Amino acid sequence: MPKPSLNDFLSKASFWPVAEVVGSAWIEHAPFAMWLMDAMRPSSVVELGTHNGYSFFAFCQAAKALGLDTELYAIDTWEGDVHSGHYDNSVYEYVQAVLERDYPERAHMVRTTFDDARPQFPDGSVDLIHVDGRHFYEERVGRPDPRRRSPLLRGRAARRRDVPTGTLGPWRHDPARHRGP
């Protein structure tokens, strides 16, 4: 097996400036999203938890710039939660306006819970799932069960999730792997 090089993990897309910058804990991950879209060239992307849209906008921008026929789905209630705080409908309206303006052909908003959206996606129909929703331990090991989403993924698929710390799921699930404060 050949030794990996930096070119295996970077592409021109990794250096594209983000067109729609909004406040987000995800800011530093946009180059990864753009590289991932370039490397995978997925036909379908599902984001679970979108909030103000920053990560979803990055996936959409990359798909458009790369000339991909990717269908992108943002699934969220757009009501907020204990991590993001609860917010009014203006967040949903903002994301909707950006998507209608910049990505009307391929970006879709699904305003519901993750579990309620699941039947809309047949098994094996998704290339990339980005999980950016609530990360409580109880939700990781109980319901909703992230493994329920695994059958969605097509053969050459990737699943990315944030790696939270503290009281959030992965920290409590595997403290040796996720060191934090």
Band the pLDDT of 114: cuts 50, 70, 90.
Answer: confident
Closest CA to 74 of 28, 21, 133, 119: 133
What is the percent of the chain where pLDDT is above 70?
A: 75
What's this model's pTM, rounded to 2 decimal places?
A: 0.78
Whole-angstrom CA distances from 76 to 8, 81, 153 are: 32, 11, 19
Average pLDDT over the chain, rounded to an integer: 79
The CATH classification of domain 37-173, taken from the options 3.40.50.150, 3.30.1540.20, 2.60.120.1360, 1.10.3720.10? 3.40.50.150
What are the structural domain ranges in the chain? 37-173
Higher pLDDT, 166 or 68: 68
For residue 163, what are its two tokens? 């790696």
> Tokens 């921008």 appear where?
61
Distance (Å, whole) CA 105 – CA 94: 17
Band the pLDDT of 148: cuts 50, 70, 90.
Answer: low
**58-72, 143-157, 161-175: which range is least confident on average?**
161-175
Distance (Å, whole) CA 35 – CA 170: 25
Q: What is the pLDDT of residues 128-144, one digit of tens each?
A: 988 875 544 444 333 44
